[in-house]
């Protein structure tokens, strides 16, 4: 049975017939007039059905415009209304009345309890209700509808997911009789994911699989997906490792086309290259890198100047000379953004051919992008210059070899290294006086593997003075490059770091007050407040060195810190206490540095190359997202390999230190290996323990015994789940303290008991 015309509006077919009675020349001589009149009638359809989404077929059927002429006229009317912004297309093929309460943007779940919409349409922050995410996860492009306006923010709900940032998810498959259900490992989706049986390939019930989401674009209880790869049986070590790699969406290799493009690059230095660059091959130059590194992207040079000052050169591999914008290797590097350094492998940004060809290995002429400083004996910068150069490194040091010379050993470049070290200490001291914050020298884990790839040793890898030397001069180069760009007001990508989280900073200040310390400053968005808070935290932590509560306040300070971000807007870097900062010194392993190199090339050196078009806002969002994923992957793999090392040591005892407390657990870090595990409070059988939030201690209700961050304990390994990176300890020996009286300035009168 044919459907009746849309209720409440005369048929458009009647309108067309009425239009035919008008002068024949009107439609041809004034087509815009005819379009407008038709669009006005059609707009009334959308206004009456404002709650509906229409397809062009539904409009043609309901309005009696099934003829070819009617459909063509209807298409023109829809197009006219779309261009005027009267209607919108929320997803392909559907049209509805434009709702000015709807916004399109990107979901930010960096703070899971407060989902935020990143959009340039509103100055006020737009928060999404967590229960109304509609399956959206971090980085997804969504359409939201404003539900409530608060004094300084907006609250919204997701109407539709326009584009998934991560269409590929890893999880477990549950195969039933008529359909299969997919459960993602990361648990970031709030809707059920259904996989039709004809899309599961040969996967079986309980398999770990990689699926591709199929956006359906409108509010439904489920999301469709299809299996694209079967990883294997869940909860095995190999599958869990593959899960981490697939879940974070990092490439484990390069396509044949990318390898072919890398092999085609010529790394020969031509006479034109020599003529167009500053030749520094005669200047004493060397590199300092970790043992076994493959990407040597920075070098240092030093020579005395006639006036008594020093010329310090920070030379960076000129990767952009070989990788052109828009090339297949450039697109790959932009997609993955950064190299990922895992305990047993490296996921490089470029194929080995490019990495080796650009690296500043000794004894070879190399193209570099350099920052040259004139520095006096007090480490004050007298002048600076950015230039494309030709260099030749004379020596490649490891950190250990350089440290041996700094400690007084004899050898090549010993004098130059000690001079650089003396200058770096003065630069470092100046940063701290200006409010830079350091959280002590927290060691990283260093893993040793046998020939089969099994972890046979773990030890904390403490930072050497030679590492700090390199770090200081890289900071100097990054800071000055950013200052030059900001002064010229050129398009640029900055590395920024915001003020601490107000709630967490207030918590830090409250706990510090309970221990008799004072922290100044308010988290107001201005440079004066930033310097005040930074100096206060830096001064506070420096006075805690060697104290028992030092680790407590380091942890609380880190928790209060904002995340570093890439931004096209020059904002202050809080932790480094720099007004401007960028990343310039690692183009072989970071795409962001390549962008900075290209922008500098256009601004200072070669105006003929000013053809590079870049969407800075979108790029910075992508860089931030991928950097977070790389850091999460590196941390997860470290924890997994650490658990693997302890998997055959269940029952053994180790000495450790309490490094974190929570309402349900104590975190203990082993002294000899640096591996971190947990002690469940329910395993402390001598009393019923709970968290004292005023002092951040775990205290017994009856005995008064307590555990605090920094306490030394002996623990026994009782359970290890290496695929899930879970290590459980129980405390076997601890010199318990009993809290009896609280004195002024947060001091405790305690007595020791066994």
CATH number of the CATH domain containing 748: 2.40.50.140
Q: Do 55 and 123 lie in a common domain? A: no
pLDDT higher at 294 or 1: 294
Q: Do 492 and 621 lie in a common domain? A: yes
> In angstroms, what CA-CA distances link 103 with 86, 156, 400?
15, 9, 55
Q: Does residue 476 sit within a domain? A: yes
Nearest to 376 by CA among 437, 281, 436, 304: 304
How many angstroms separate the CA atoms of 662 and 402, rounded? Answer: 41
Percent of the chain with pLDDT over 90: 26
User: What pLDDT shows up at residue 100?
Assistant: 55
pLDDT digits (tens, 9 = 90+) for 431-473: 888 888 876 556 678 888 887 778 888 888 778 899 999 999 9
Structure tokens at 150: 């608060």
pLDDT at 512 over 50: yes
pLDDT at 126 over 90: no
> In angstroms, what CA-CA distances link 541 with 501, 510, 547?
18, 15, 10
> In angstroms, what CA-CA distances link 618 with 66, 430, 568?
43, 35, 10
pLDDT at 604 over 50: yes
Average pLDDT over residues 26-42: 62
Scan for tokens 């409070």, then name that residue: 681
Looking at every residue in the chain, the average pLDDT score rounds to 80
Average pLDDT over residues 666-686: 88
Buried b (16+ CB within 10 A) or exposed e, 705-718: bbbbbebebebbbe
pLDDT band for 710, please (50, 70, 90 cuts).
confident
Count of alpha carbons within 13 Å of 117, Cβ hemisphere only? 33
How many angstroms separate the CA atoms of 170 and 173, rounded? Answer: 10
Average pLDDT over residues 50-70: 73
pLDDT at 56 over 70: yes
User: What pLDDT shows up at residue 110?
Assistant: 64
| Long-range CB pairs of 44-52, under 8 A, 24+ apart, other chains included | 44/9, 45/6, 45/9, 46/81, 46/86, 46/87, 46/95, 46/96, 46/97, 47/97, 48/6, 48/8, 48/9, 49/6, 49/97, 50/96, 50/97, 52/96
CB 323 within 8 A of CB 331: no
Average pLDDT over residues 82-92: 75
Q: Does residue 435 sit within a domain? A: no
How many angstroms separate the CA atoms of 318 and 593, rounded? Answer: 10
Domain harbouring 46, CATH code: 1.10.10
Q: Do 479 and 580 lie in a common domain? A: yes
> In angstroms, what CA-CA distances link 68 with 26, 82, 316?
21, 21, 65
Backbone φ/ψ region at 217: left (φ over 0), alpha (ψ -120 to 50), beta? left
> In angstroms, what CA-CA distances link 11 with 60, 164, 358, 534?
10, 40, 70, 69
Q: Do 471 and 607 lie in a common domain? A: yes
CB 671 within 8 A of CB 656: yes
Structure tokens at 478: 């990054």
pLDDT band for 708, please (50, 70, 90 cuts).
confident
Percent of the chain with pLDDT over 70: 83
pLDDT digits (tens, 9 = 90+) for 344-374: 888 999 999 999 999 999 999 999 999 999 9
pLDDT band for 123, please (50, 70, 90 cuts).
low
Q: Do 213 and 121 lie in a common domain? A: no
Q: Does residue 692 sit within a domain? A: yes
User: What pLDDT shows up at residue 1?
Assistant: 38
pLDDT at 66 over 50: yes
How many angstroms separate the CA atoms of 88 and 96, rounded? Answer: 6
pLDDT digits (tens, 9 = 90+) for 728-750: 999 987 655 555 433 333 333 33
Cα 562 off chain centre by: 12
pLDDT band for 508, please (50, 70, 90 cuts).
confident
Q: Do 126 and 70 lie in a common domain? A: no
Element (H, E) at 426: helix 414-433
pLDDT band for 25, please (50, 70, 90 cuts).
very low
User: What pLDDT shows up at residue 633?
Assistant: 87
Last residue of a domain, one of 79, 97, 115: 97
Q: Do 93 and 112 lie in a common domain? A: no
Average pLDDT over residues 108-133: 71
Last residue of a domain, one of 197, 214, 247: 247
User: What pLDDT shows up at residue 372?
Assistant: 95
CB-count burial class (<10 Å; 0-12, 13-18, 19+) for 607? exposed
User: What pLDDT shows up at residue 404?
Assistant: 92
Q: Do 651 and 688 lie in a common domain? A: yes
DSSP state of 179: -
Structure tokens at 750: 């305690």
Q: Does residue 534 sit within a domain? A: yes
User: What pLDDT shows up at residue 746?
Assistant: 38
Nearest to 110 by CA among 631, 515, 536, 602: 631
pLDDT higher at 715 or 59: 715
User: What pLDDT shows up at residue 304?
Assistant: 92
User: What pLDDT shows up at residue 51?
Assistant: 57
Q: Do 24 and 159 lie in a common domain? A: no
Cα 114 off chain centre by: 18
Least confident of 59-68, 246-255, 325-334, 721-730: 59-68
Average pLDDT over residues 534-554: 78
Going along 164-198, which residue ranges are E strands? 168-175, 180-184, 192-195
Last residue of a domain, one of 65, 97, 129: 97
Helices 550-560 and 527-542, packing angle to 10 deg: 160
Element (H, E) at 742: strand 737-742
pLDDT band for 418, please (50, 70, 90 cuts).
very high
Cα 715 off chain centre by: 35
Count, residues in the chain: 754
Average pLDDT over residues 592-610: 71
Q: Does residue 93 sit within a domain? A: yes
Least confident of 82-91, 116-125, 336-345, 475-484: 116-125
pLDDT higher at 370 or 558: 370
* Cα distance between the two ends of the chain: 89
pLDDT at 133 over 70: yes
pLDDT band for 2, please (50, 70, 90 cuts).
very low
pLDDT higher at 192 or 113: 192
Structure tokens at 488: 């010229």
Helix (H/G/I), strand (E/B), else coil: 423: helix
Strand 154-163 versus strand 126-128 pairing type? parallel
Sheet with 381-392, side-by-side order of all strands:
278-279, 381-392, 365-375, 310-317, 298-304, 285-289, 395-398
User: What pLDDT shows up at residue 46?
Assistant: 75
Task: Kindly report the three-state secondary structure assignment for every residue of 48-93.
Answer: HCCCCCECHHHHHHHCCCCCHHHHHHHHHHHHHHHHHCCEECCCCC
Q: Do 208 and 143 lie in a common domain? A: no
How many angstroms separate the CA atoms of 164 and 13, rounded? Answer: 41
Q: Does residue 739 sit within a domain? A: yes
Structure tokens at 56: 């062009």
Element (H, E) at 346: strand 346-347
Cα 639 off chain centre by: 19
Q: How many distinct structural domains can be found in the chain?
A: 5
Domain harbouring 215, CATH code: 2.40.50.700
Cα angle for residues 717, 720, 725 (degrees, 5° grid): 125
Scan for tokens 């405790």, then name that residue: 748
Q: Does residue 433 sit within a domain? A: no
Radius of gyration of the chain (CA): 31
pLDDT digits (tens, 9 = 90+) for 194-239: 888 888 888 888 888 888 887 654 445 677 888 888 888 776 767 7
Bridge partner list, 712: 657
Q: How many other β-carbons are positioned within 10 Å of the β-carbon of residue 642?
A: 24
Q: Do 679 and 744 lie in a common domain? A: yes
Q: Do 35 and 154 lie in a common domain? A: no
pLDDT at 753 over 50: no
Q: Does residue 569 sit within a domain? A: yes
Going along 393-490, which residue ranges are E strands? 395-398, 444-449, 455-461
pLDDT digits (tens, 9 = 90+) for 565-598: 999 888 889 888 899 999 999 999 999 999 999 9
pLDDT band for 385, please (50, 70, 90 cuts).
very high
Domain extent, residue 592, equals 466-628
């Amino acid at each position: 049975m044919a459907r009746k015309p849309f209720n409440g509006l005369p048929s458009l077919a009647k309108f067309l017939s009425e239009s035919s009675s008008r002068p024949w020349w009107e439609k041809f001589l004034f087509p815009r007039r005819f379009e407008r009149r038709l669009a006005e009638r059609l707009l009334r359809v959308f206004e009456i059905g404002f709650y509906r989404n229409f397809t062009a077929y539904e409009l043609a059927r309901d309005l009696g415009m099934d003829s070819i002429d009617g459909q063509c006229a209807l298409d023109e009317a829809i197009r006219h209304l779309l261009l005027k912004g009267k209607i919108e297309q929320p997803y392909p093929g559907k049209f509805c009345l434009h709702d000015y309460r709807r916004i399109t943007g990107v979901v930010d779940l960096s703070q899971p309890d407060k989902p935020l919409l990143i959009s340039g349409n509103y100055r006020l922050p737009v928060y999404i209700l967590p229960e109304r995410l509609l399956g959206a996860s971090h980085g997804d492009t969504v359409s939201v509808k404003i539900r409530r306006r608060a004094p300084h923010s907006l609250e919204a709900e997701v109407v539709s997911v326009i584009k998934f940032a991560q269409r590929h998810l890893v999880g477990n498959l549950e195969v039933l009789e008529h359909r299969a259900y997919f459960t993602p490992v990361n648990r970031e989706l709030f809707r059920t994911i259904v996989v039709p049986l004809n899309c599961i390939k040969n996967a079986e019930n309980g398999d770990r699989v990689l699926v591709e989401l199929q956006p359906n674009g409108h509010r439904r209880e489920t999301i469709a997906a299809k299996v694209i790869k079967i990883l294997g049986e869940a909860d095995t070590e190999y599958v869990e490792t593959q899960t981490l790699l697939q879940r974070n969406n990092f490439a484990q290799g390069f396509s044949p086309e990318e390898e072919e493009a890398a092999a085609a690059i010529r790394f020969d230095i031509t006479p034109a290259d020599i003529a167009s660059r500053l030749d520094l091959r005669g200047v004493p130059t060397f590199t300092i890198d970790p043992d076994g590194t493959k990407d040597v992207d920075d070098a240092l040079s030093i020579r005395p100047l006639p006036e008594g000052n020093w010329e310090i050169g920070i030379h960076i591999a000129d990767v952009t000379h070989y990788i052109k914008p828009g090339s297949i290797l450039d697109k790959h590097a932009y997609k993955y953004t950064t190299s990922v350094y895992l305990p047993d492998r490296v996921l490089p940004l470029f194929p080995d051919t490019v990495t080796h060809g650009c690296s500043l290995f000794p004894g070879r002429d190399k193209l570099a992008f350099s920052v040259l400083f004139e520095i006096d004996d007090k480490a004050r910068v007298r002048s600076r210059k950015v230039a494309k150069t030709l260099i030749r490194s004379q020596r490649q040091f490891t950190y250990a070899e350089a440290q041996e010379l700094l400690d007084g050993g004899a050898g090549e470049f010993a004098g130059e290294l000690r001079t650089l070290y003396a200058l770096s200490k003065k630069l470092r001291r100046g940063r701290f006086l200006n409010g830079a914050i350091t959280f002590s020298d927290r060691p990283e884990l260093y893993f040793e593997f046998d020939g089969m790839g099994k972890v046979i040793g773990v030890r904390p890898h403490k930072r050497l003075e030679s590492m700090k030397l390199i770090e200081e001069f890289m900071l100097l180069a990054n800071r000055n490059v950013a200052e030059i760009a900001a002064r010229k007001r050129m398009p640029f990508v900055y590395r920024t770091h915001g003020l601490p989280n107000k709630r967490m900073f207030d918590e830090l200040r409250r706990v510090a007050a309970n221990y008799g310390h004072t922290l100044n400053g308010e988290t107001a968005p201005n440079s004066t407040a930033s310097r005040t808070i930074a100096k206060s935290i830096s001064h506070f932590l420096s006075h805690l060195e060697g104290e028992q509560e030092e680790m407590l306040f380091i942890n609380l300070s880190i928790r209060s810190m904002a995340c570093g971000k890439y931004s096209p807007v020059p904002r202050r870097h809080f932790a480094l206490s720099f007004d401007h900062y960028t990343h310039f010194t690692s183009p072989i392993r970071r795409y962001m540095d390549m962008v900075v190199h290209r922008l500098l090339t256009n601004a200072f050196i070669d105006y003929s190359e000013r053809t590079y078009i870049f969407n800075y806002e979108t790029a910075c969002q992508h860089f931030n997202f991928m950097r977070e994923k790389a850091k999460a992957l590196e941390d997860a793999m470290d924890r997994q390999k650490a658990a693997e090392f302890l998997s055959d040591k269940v029952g053994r005892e180790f000495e450790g230190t309490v490094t974190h407390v929570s309402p349900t657990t104590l975190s203990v870090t082993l002294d000899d290996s640096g591996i971190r595990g947990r002690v469940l409070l329910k395993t402390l059988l001598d009393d019923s323990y709970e968290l004292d939030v005023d002092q951040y201690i775990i205290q017994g209700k009856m005995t008064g015994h307590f555990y605090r961050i920094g306490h030394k304990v002996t623990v026994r390994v009782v359970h290890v789940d290496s695929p899930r990176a879970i290590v459980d300890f129980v405390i076997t020996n601890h010199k318990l303290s009993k809290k009896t009286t609280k004195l002024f300035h947060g001091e405790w009168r305690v007595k020791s008991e066994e």
